[in-house]
Chain A
């Protein structure tokens, strides 16, 4: 859609132009309607005119001899009303409210009809616009009858349309204009909102720089801001990762030195400290490096990974079980998938005392559930435990180690494989962590 040269570039210009068009439309629309309402005068005017015509015709016919009257009456007829003279009445008066009302209107319009016999017969059209077909018979002073057939147009229709209609057209015009403006306005704004939402989750999103001129500037500014933030984050991340790597050499020295400590308990404590620091470094580096993992996704047996981890836990005399098939392939980066499952299993063992792994297929998903018998996670905290550096208050005891990155890393890894992590408290107590990945 290439905008016309006349289409203004700025939002204010666009709104103004569209509103001007709406006003013009309303102006044209209502003047056409008012024109119509002039063609169709209101009901009272029509009755008045009919009454006048009737009285005039009577006055003319009275002066004529009877044999001329038939022809003369026909001559007085007009396009909208036919006149007929007859010696005897051929109209029976209907005494319904419609007739009574019309007779009163006739008499009010022509006071000379006040004491005359006036037979009325009104048929109202069933279909819209409900015109009234009226037959009026006037008893002339010599006892003969003058009958008039005419149509009273239903005036309320025109009156109604001319007032309501113009409001309607105005409304329609303004709504159309508003819709046009909003469509133009909201598309880039919505894109911007979506982009801003995604940026928070770590993705880099380019906003299309389209729309009104000032919105385009917003999009450009947004993109530039994103680049700056990304650059800033990149520098920080690299610095942090470099420190992480550099710390490993002194840690290696520390661990080797620990080997020379002759007192067993002191040596073991030293080694445990080094292990804890190493674990923190590992999780920090995994979290920081998660974005640019060079490992390509491949066909990976998730069952084998689960079995290895369960066996490892069993070897270190902890309680872990595996229930599921011997093989179940998914598409994933095997090492990061193993890290993810390992984090979940470690959590279960640490907080829940034991880890029961079950692997199954649920439709198009492969589900690896890890259940423990620990205290679970308070419902209010469930959403927050996935945030980086978040730790449950009850877990803040110093013996937990770690940086509060474990679950964040799991989620990061699974997201990359189009999978997800679902945490749920089990009704019978304990936590159920589900790793869901698309099945092959």
Chain B
């Protein structure tokens, strides 16, 4: 047990180190050498370059640059090019808005994907299974923004309601109940759209896991003992079928930044994805680079959590370290 913890911690430390190096290395993709200033390209102005060199200490040796970058980041010395605010507080402020979207989306994903995956596995090859397979794959195969446009047009034309932004514009003085309902409604479309890909992927994952479990020896044994089908499925098989819940915990976190760029841009949602996109458009490199780092860091924390949870729910993992 302790051995497992130590090993996991050691691995995560290495991962953290690599993450910090790669996040930092992205800086060097940007214009760093004067020879790269292209007079025809309005993005690489000498002023921009000078600012960039100063912000990331490009005149220092590499390892000093690396250390200075993280020192500046955590002391609040690294500031946005756009409004000269420290980078970290700016990001934290936006995370708050994204978090609601992310939570709503994640709850939707879990509520839909597990029942769907388990049912389709139990009734493999039924019409339900085939139809869900195609529908679910259609959901991950459709370009997100295309689906979003179709849905927005449909909803707006059918219900004549406002769907863009955090709340309906021009109703600030309304009572609490009204504005709560309004905000909740504005959460619906973006979170449904954000959840589609997650539902599709997780439900396939759950289905595959459940199929493996159903065909495994211990389930056959349970049947052979003469247990009724419900006990076999819901008491014996389901427990292992729920393992993807733990695995996905770590893997959904990158969606907080990456998956939200398009949805937040379409819905004018002042979240972290839109912050990133705006930063990219305005060449605000400190924000862009920090966002990549923060997202990777969050994922690392997510996978660490899922590793620890695995240890609690799956004794096979614990035993692995003993061997």
Are A and B subunits of one complex? no
